[in-house]
A and B are shown apart, each in its own frame.
Chain A
């Protein structure tokens, strides 16, 4: 049956769902981010305890020491729901694909100067595993965190880090033979330069407080690693051997700038909630900052040689200023 409708305006009975209205200050038009996020996680009347963690409910606020009156106080400034997330990432991958295509067509890997190539391979390729560790840590937060407002972007972050590990893999395949990835993995497993970082990452993999893990991975470790590698080391490689590596790591640079806004907003919200939270978040930050700084020192040296200490200390200074701006005491 085909019905031709005239254009008429009918008055809606309500603008949004009750649970959304309750969080946005009344019944008014809500965004897709809000309707696709607020209140989606179950909070009451769970039927059974997990066999694998009977001390907890399926979703349980006690899985972190952080306390929030309202877990939907967390907001993603990017307003990512699945649709906006994938459309945004599709645009970023299109830009990255163009860079890889350009480099592959002109075989820029082969003509890339040997010393710079060695250095790029040594520093970048073991980072595949660090990105994979972050995938695991962020999927942990997505699984065991509380409230869709924070768990949803954690899953996006996990998948982004898988994407980053895959871009790094492609850099390896572009610069050299596939075996180079095995060599890098061996370095990750055995080389003294990588052991402090691997140790720190493995300790994160068994960290049970998901918000501590969020801080350790997304705020602290990435807060040092991304500026160090994708700015400092990339600039140094560019000075020596041209912009090829800067082109091929463009995704990471853009990604870090964008995701930092979400990480900062989350840290700020957690800290502003209470002085207990402020102290807790500050403790976690201090603890993982020392750990991450020490773990990154030999990596910085691999990437920057003599200038590494100064570079790392500048990165650290910037990080401390960022932390202070968010209300974290270091």
Chain B
């Protein structure tokens, strides 16, 4: 860091303190509680903000310099990939569907992180954490933009990318990631830090990014791989911020422990449920697979996360209870999710397909306890039906979990042949959840979760048709109207990969580029 090397009299830490926390002051013309109105209501007690240890010490000039260098390199690669039709070097155009899942489901969350950290970066009373949060806010707008910019070229040639901002607000399965972040940002600033800064950025981020980025690398996607690698040094900063934040809260007052523990329990489960989409992507959507979801869970959660929780044990933090169920679920959820997307492939903005025989064999090998017993027979039946020209699409709508908003597709931890339902009563109404984890989250804050914009309920209430649709007209067909409301081009964005425009175009373009 350039400016710091000139420090002769001051140590790095003192100099950085003058550059950051030295700038703040206790207001007296306006009460501090009015300037910072949101950092007390959650019950977290902070006695001394000056005890905050800056997790990294980067002045703005150093930040600009290093980040600009990364941006120059990244955009050079994105440009080269686009100019050389890099998309034609992919293993298989099925891979592109993982990118559709990413731009519609993940990139808008990066944007929300940007706004969320701007909010927390304004509201926490301590200057040290504010500066760190604002830098993360700035990094997060980088991430959404580099993702959009590297997928911009795919949007030019492939379907399903064209309306990602519209879809995240409407399409049924996208309410899963959307509501996750809406939940975090509408919580208080400390809960946001535990939800995103700690649980998401620290505990679960590797399970999201390593599979996507390695998946990109394995499948010849230089563009996506590069933005992933380029984001890694930012992520390292975000992880240290998340960890410092939880330690700071726990060290400030023993009364903070039960509150923090409940948030960790909640957000670990919430995050685990969202990651179902990643599990499905790893096991089913990557033409060339990196590792199975189960293996990723074991390495990145059970081993790495286990070590982290061991570290936190000295503060009294316990491993969340929901981990018991997640350990059972790791052998099931990717198959259950893909089976659901396959059935509802008419209402998604990416293509679905049944795994080929050699891919089923890979799944058998990776999931010796479950795949052949519970899932292969159904998948082979569907593949056979498709071969006979009877591709199965489910035309009824599934019930959604009131908390995670995933269709009720998960099974009982004790019986993989029974769908798991939980029920709560609140103000004379019944609310349904998919698991003990989600039920416990609901029961703790029912007044929050009853607000959820559940896509299936909304469709049944008639809120998901274009303005000019008339459901009372004889012969009214709801599904095509819902697809219009989603801005989903029926026949181009959705349905089976086999026979899709993406498949035809990719084959034709690649032939053009590789044959004389």
The answer, among A19, A49, A58, A140, for a CB contact under 8 Å with B166, is A19
| Cα distance, A59 to B84, chains bound together (Å) | 40
Is A309 part of the contact surface with B, judged by Cβ < 8 Å? no
| Cα distance, A206 to B164, chains bound together (Å) | 36
Is B170 part of the contact surface with A, judged by Cβ < 8 Å? yes
- Do B188 and A52 have beta carbons less than 8 Å apart? yes
The answer, among B3, B23, B134, B148, for a CB contact under 8 Å with A97, is B3
- Do B23 and A3 have beta carbons less than 8 Å apart? no
Is B169 part of the contact surface with A, judged by Cβ < 8 Å? yes
The 4 closest A-B pairs by CB, nearest first: A90-B68, A163-B60, A12-B156, A36-B145
Q: List 9 A-B contacts (CB under 8 A).
A: A5-B88, A17-B164, A82-B71, A87-B71, A96-B61, A97-B61, A155-B138, A181-B22, A202-B30
The answer, among B22, B71, B112, B448, for a CB contact under 8 Å with A86, is B71
The answer, among A43, A94, A136, A188, for a CB contact under 8 Å with B169, is A43
The B contact surface, by secondary structure, is helix
- Interfacial chain A residues near B166, Cβ < 8 Å: 18-19
A93-B64 contact given A135-B134, A144-B119, A202-B35, CB 8 Å threshold: yes
The answer, among B3, B30, B512, for a CB contact under 8 Å with A205, is B30
- Do B179 and A185 have beta carbons less than 8 Å apart? no
- Interfacial chain A residues near B314, Cβ < 8 Å: none
- Interfacial chain B residues near A45, Cβ < 8 Å: 169-170, 453, 458
A159-B134 contact given A17-B162, A47-B178, CB 8 Å threshold: yes
Is B137 part of the contact surface with A, judged by Cβ < 8 Å? yes
- Do A48 and B448 have beta carbons less than 8 Å apart? yes
Contact with B along A278-296 (1 / 0, CB 8 A): 0000000000000000000
Is A221 part of the contact surface with B, judged by Cβ < 8 Å? no
CB of A269 to closest CB in B, whole Å:
21
Stretch at the interface among A116-124, A165-173, A222-230, A234-242: A165-173
- Do B29 and A198 have beta carbons less than 8 Å apart? yes
- Do A97 and B30 have beta carbons less than 8 Å apart? no
Most chain A CB within 10 A, of B141, B158, B451, is at B141
- Do A166 and B61 have beta carbons less than 8 Å apart? yes
- Interfacial chain B residues near A10, Cβ < 8 Å: 85, 157, 509, 512
| Cα distance, A1 to B453, chains bound together (Å) | 45
Is B67 part of the contact surface with A, judged by Cβ < 8 Å? yes
- Do A203 and B30 have beta carbons less than 8 Å apart? yes
The answer, among B138, B189, B509, for a CB contact under 8 Å with A159, is B138
- Do A93 and B65 have beta carbons less than 8 Å apart? yes
- Do B152 and A143 have beta carbons less than 8 Å apart? no
- Interfacial chain B residues near A104, Cβ < 8 Å: 6
A143-B118 contact given A36-B148, A129-B25, CB 8 Å threshold: yes
Interface residues of B in 142-181 (CB under 8 A from A): 142, 144-146, 148-149, 152, 155-159, 161-166, 168-170, 175, 178-179
Is A13 part of the contact surface with B, judged by Cβ < 8 Å? yes
- Interfacial chain B residues near A36, Cβ < 8 Å: 144-145, 148-149
CB of A88 to closest CB in B, whole Å:
8
Is A83 part of the contact surface with B, judged by Cβ < 8 Å? yes
Is B416 part of the contact surface with A, judged by Cβ < 8 Å? no
A82-B142 contact given A17-B163, A45-B453, CB 8 Å threshold: yes
The answer, among A47, A96, A148, for a CB contact under 8 Å with B453, is A47
Contact with B along A24-59 (1 / 0, CB 8 A): 000000001001100111111111111110000011
